[in-house]
Amino acid sequence: MKECEEIKVLMDIYLDGEFGEEDTQRIQNHLSTCSGCSEIFEKRQQFLNLLKESEIRKEVPPGLELSIRSKLRKTELQQQKKPSFLKARSILAMVLLLAGIAGVGLYVLQKFPFGSEEDADFLRVVTRDYKDYLRQELPLEIQSSDREEVIRWFKNKVNFNLILPSFRDRNIKLLGGGD
C-alpha cells in the first residue's frame, strides 16, 4: 500500500519519461503486478493523450487563476507533511510546476486547472460525454426513472458500489445511464 502511494507520485515523472533505468524498472514492475496502480496509470496516460489532441483552452474565466494558486498552495502544504523521499521529489515537481506556470501558463492552466490532473481528466471526459449525449451520439444503455433499477444495472458494470442521490425537486427526473 505504501509502495502504491509512492508509485502514484512517481507516475507523472515516469510518464514524462524523466526517469533512469532503475526507477523505470521499479515502476514497470509495480504496474505489472498492481491492478489498482495500473488502472490509474492508464487513466493518466489517456489524459495526456487527450490533452495532446484537445484544443488549447483559450480563455480563462475570472477567478480561476486565483483558485489554481490557492489549490497549488494547499497541495504544497500537504506535500510538506510527507516523508523525505517523497518530499524531495515533490518539491522538485512543485518547482517544475511553478516554473511551468511562469513559462507556459496557458499549458499549465490546461493541464492543472482543477487542482489535480485526475479532476481535469474526468471533467474533460464528463463534459465530452455530456456533449455527445446532447448530440444524441451517446445513447443511454439503460432507460429507467427507477433509481434502484439503475443502481442494479451498474452493479456489474463499474468496480464500485454506486451511491446515487435523488433530487428534492420533483421536476428533475432520472432518465437512465450508461458506463
Partner 1 sequence: MAFVIYELNGNPISLAVTRAWRPKIEETAGNTPEDIDFDFYHMNGYTGVYWNYRGLVYYLVSDLPEKVNIHQLLDWSAS
Could you tell me the smallest distance in angstroms from the CB atom of residue 7 to Zn ion?
A: 5
Rounded Cα distance, 130 and 111, in Å = 20
> In 3D, which of 170, 169, 152, 172 has the Cα closest to residue 161?
152
Could you tell me the smallest distance in angstroms from the CB atom of residue 162 to partner 1?
A: 5
* Residue 77 sits in the site that holds partner 1 (CB under 8 A): no
Instruction: Evaluate whether 115 touches 139 at the Cβ level (below 8 Å).
Output: no
Could you tell me the smallest distance in angstroms from the CB atom of residue 89 to Zn ion?
A: 17
Cβ neighbours around 8 below 10 Å, total: 14
Instruction: For residue 57, give the 3-state DSSP assignment.
Output: coil
**Footprint of Zn ion on residues 24-63 (CB under 5 A)?**
34, 37
Binding mask 125-164 for partner 1 (x = CB under 8 A): xxxxxxx-xx---x-x------x--x---x--xxxx-xxx
* Residue 172 sits in the site that holds partner 1 (CB under 8 A): yes
Single-letter amino acid code for the residue at 147: R
Region of 169 (left: φ > 0; alpha: ψ -120 to 50; beta: rest) is: beta
Cα 43 to Cα 47, 80, 119: the distances in Å are 6, 26, 11
Is the CB of 34 or the CB of 94 nearer to Zn ion?
Answer: 34
Which residues of this chain interact with Zn ion, rule CB under 5 A? 4, 34, 37
Which residues of this chain interact with partner 1, rule CB under 8 A? 5, 8, 40, 43, 61, 64, 78, 113-116, 118-119, 122-131, 133-134, 138, 140, 147, 150, 154, 157-160, 162-169, 171-179
